[in-house]
A and B are shown apart, each in its own frame.
Chain A
Amino acid sequence: MKLFFTHVICFFLFITFSITTNAQSSISLSTGISTDMNNSNKTFHHIPISLQWKPFADKKSPLFLEFDYDIPLINKRTGDAFTLNESLPQKVTLQENISSSIFTMAVGFRIHLYTNKKNNSFYLNILPVGICSQNFKVSYKNFDKVNYEVLNPDVNSSPAGFVMSMAAVYNFHKTKQDMMLMLHAQTPLLTSRGDYPLSYKYAAPLLITFGYNFYYNKRRK
């Protein structure tokens, strides 16, 4: 896993330093709410923080980098536990809490779709290559580990792999500060799920975020 991330970071550093910046470069920072599309019955929810670095605002140079971190909201489920101890109820239902944090780095390009008279613009972001790490933490509330055994327990997992994503972005042009509204959909991890059956699947977050575009000036190298 360490080697995998080393290669990934090297890849992104290579992309980063091979891009020359110009006067129209910008950084977009946005946040909002996300829901998971892959766990239909017990959906994960997150508070996403999305950072996009667009070295070129030029429509001819649409490449950009995106970093997303999804802060988990607790996902509550139930699990059954059983005991042989005759002085205790033979079965209890436990509250199972799962938190899933997600970190994604992706490289993509923007397709300009529309600009109106007020200079508001609409873009489609395509991110065909992304690296994603999902960290699932499972706990059972008030679990008597000495006397009870959970049947088919969920366990922690930290899978990582490739993802693809797509976003629709609407930029509101303001005199002092541009704002943006983004609807972003991401695939689940494109890796196998392992041998042990878990009640949860890899998350496929659907984000809706609102934020600002920050422009900065820099001479062309």
Chain B
Amino acid sequence: MKHPIYKLLPLITILCLAGCSKRNYFPDQDDPGLSRLTFYGFNIATNYINDVPYINNYRKPLFGGIVNSVPSIYKIVTSSAFDTLSISWAIGINDNGNVQFNSPYQNISLLMPVPKSFSLSDFIAMGGKRFSSNTRGILINTPQNYSDKQSGTSDIYFIKINLDTSHLSFTGLFDGNIGDSILITKGRFDFKIDADQIKF
């Protein structure tokens, strides 16, 4: 009689193969350290902060290789006439697709004032529109004090937004500055998230 381990061999092989998947990071030759601007649902976001390349985090599930982190999208209810749409993701210094743990900035948030009645269809309607820094905000967090957020202004361009039966895909550009000391440039993102994660 064969040892029971033999019955598990196909499963072990599949799990090993699943662990070999690579991160969807494709370097942009024109902008070292940044990923190409894509609309393939790669869940990749890169930008410079003071000319240092940053990339969104990834996680390594027990079985499944590398999975790029997706952003959090939610509406912050405020007491003013407008609420705030927040799109945020964890970041770190990009070391050829890997994230350095000792990065000075660890989170970035794009902030946009939206009407109280803002809904998913309004978000989809933002596709193809460019928003100037007059009213748009940006936040970055430092690891020393996570609650100590530094805020500034940003330009955001949602190049394409697409909703299919189960996924919301959106690609765009952003930049910003926080005072005169922190300059965020050449930002680009390509996200694809489950539509049911949208709570507005």
Contact = CB atoms under 8 A, between A and B. Distances in A.
A72 interface: no
Given A90-B130, A90-B157, A155-B29, A149 B37 contact: yes
Contact of B39 (A86, A151, A195): A151
A183 B28 CA distance: 41
Contact of A86 (B22, B38, B130, B171): B130
A152 interface: yes
Nearest to A145: B30
Given A90-B130, A145-B30, A196-B26, A82 B173 contact: yes
Nearest to A156: B29
Q: Which of B29, B37, B171 has the most CB of A within 10 A?
A: B37
B130 A197 contact: no
A137 B29 CA distance: 14
Interface string B91-115: 0000000000000000000000000
Interface in B1-52: 22, 24, 26, 28-30, 36-40
Contacts of A83: 157, 173
Q: Interface on chain A toward B: helix, strand, loop, or mixed SS? A: loop
A195 B186 CA distance: 24
A195 B157 contact: no
Contacts of B173: 82-84, 149
Interface string B137-158: 0000000000000000001110
Contacts of A196: 26
A51 interface: no
B86 to A, nearest CB: 20
Interface in B152-190: 155-157, 159-160, 171, 173-175, 186, 188
Interface residues of A, number: 15
A125 B149 CA distance: 71
Contacts of B159: 82, 151
Contacts of B157: 82-84, 90
Given A149-B188, A151-B171, A84 B39 contact: no
Contacts of B24: 195
Given A149-B188, A196-B26, A84 B37 contact: no
B39 A152 contact: yes
A150 B36 CA distance: 8
Nearest to A195: B22
A153 interface: yes
Interface in A135-154: 145, 149-153
B72 interface: no
B19 to A, nearest CB: 16
A87 to B, nearest CB: 11
Contacts of A195: 22, 24, 26
B175 A84 contact: yes
Nearest to B22: A195
Contacts of B40: 152, 197
A147 to B, nearest CB: 10
A84 B130 contact: yes
18 contacts: A82-B157, A84-B157, A84-B173, A84-B174, A86-B132, A86-B155, A90-B130, A149-B37, A149-B188, A150-B36, A151-B38, A151-B159, A152-B36, A152-B39, A152-B40, A153-B37, A195-B22, A195-B26
Given A145-B30, A150-B36, A155-B36, 4 more contacts: A82-B37, A84-B174, A149-B37, A152-B36
Interface of B: 22, 24, 26, 28-30, 36-40, 130, 132, 155-157, 159-160, 171, 173-175, 186, 188
Going nearest first, the 4 A-B pairs with the smallest beta carbon separation are A149-B37, A84-B155, A145-B30, A90-B130
